[in-house]
Amino acid sequence: MTTMGCDIVAAAYEDEEFDGSDFSSSSSCSPAPSWPTLSEMMLRVADTRARARAALFIGGDWTDELSFSHYYHQHWANQMLHLTSLAALYFALFWAAAEHHAILPVAIAVIISTSYMAIDVPLGGAFLAGLGALAGAAMALVAVIGRDGHEAKRGVWTVGWAFSQLAGHAAFEGRLPAFRPAEALVVTPALMVLLVLFRTGWREDWAAAIRGRTDRWAGTEKFMWPSKSRGAAKTVADTE
């Protein structure tokens, strides 16, 4: 019903011309839905982001996330192995990208680095330097060996380095990885780079905060055998 029609019905009710028992106007004369305000839309966006973050991450803030990853990567040899394998896996990504377009590795490196810059500028700068070097090396490799016929070699390279991380957890930590995709793809790479920066004395307060929260994650792990890094008496496949 039009607005004018609703006004006529409302006036009729006021004049008591009919009681409206045979006329259903509740649905047809209901007020038009109002658009949400800007603040309401922002709250909805924030709620959606919070729900998505809860599904992907485990900590309350970025330092919590880093402390969770640090708990699973406490042995120095495992940290070095992860840092090396991380560089190798990024190189494989840039290698594949360079076979499609020469500039694509640079674009990917800039996107990843910019994302980390949104968290911390020096962290993003370190990523930009490291990923830029790996992207350049991948582009140089493709220029030398060509673009075609290297899928199998790259596959073996990628799988081998990925399994090396599992070996590092088994050999040096004595526990299984956390197996959380967001932690593996986003947080742990950042932690490995930060550990290098912390070695230079940069942001010692942040390093101390991460270490201070590390032990709160005790009990979340699944041990393969007695933990080498914690010294706890755990049996094979002892779960949380």
Task: Identify the pLDDT of residue 55.
Answer: 45
Task: Identify the pLDDT of residue 157.
Answer: 93
Same domain? For 171 and 96 the reply is: yes
Return the residue matching tokens 């106007």.
25
Residue 211 counted as domain residue? yes
Residue 82 · residue 192 · CB < 8 Å: yes
Task: Identify the pLDDT of residue 104.
Answer: 97
Task: Identify the pLDDT of residue 232.
Answer: 39
Q: Which range marks the domain in which residue 124 is found?
A: 61-217
Q: Tokens at residue 173, please?
A: 């930590």
Same domain? For 36 and 99 the reply is: no
How many CB atoms sit inside 10 A of residue 171's CB? Answer: 14
Same domain? For 82 and 191 the reply is: yes
Same domain? For 101 and 161 the reply is: yes
Task: Identify the pLDDT of residue 221.
Answer: 80
Residue 37 counted as domain residue? yes
Per-10-residue mean pLDDT of the chain, 240 residues long, equals 51 50 50 70 60 55 92 95 96 95 95 93 96 96 90 91 92 88 92 96 95 91 59 34
Return the residue matching tokens 């192995």.
81
Residue 111 counted as domain residue? yes
Question: How many structural domains comprise the chain?
Answer: 2
Same domain? For 113 and 24 the reply is: no
Same domain? For 46 and 66 the reply is: no
Task: Identify the pLDDT of residue 78.
Answer: 96
Return the residue matching tokens 């640079």.
106
Residue 232 counted as domain residue? no
Q: How many residues does the chain have?
A: 240
Biggest CA–CA distance in the chain, Å, is: 92
Same domain? For 70 and 43 the reply is: no
Task: Identify the pLDDT of residue 99.
Answer: 93
Task: Identify the pLDDT of residue 32.
Answer: 59
Three-state SS string over 190-224 comes to HHHHHHHHHHCCCCHHHHHHHHHHHHHHCCCCCEC
The structure's pTM equals 0.70
Same domain? For 33 and 76 the reply is: no
Q: Tokens at residue 113, please?
A: 């680095």
Residue 209 counted as domain residue? yes
Task: Identify the pLDDT of residue 54.
Answer: 46
Task: Identify the pLDDT of residue 236.
Answer: 31
Task: Identify the pLDDT of residue 178.
Answer: 86
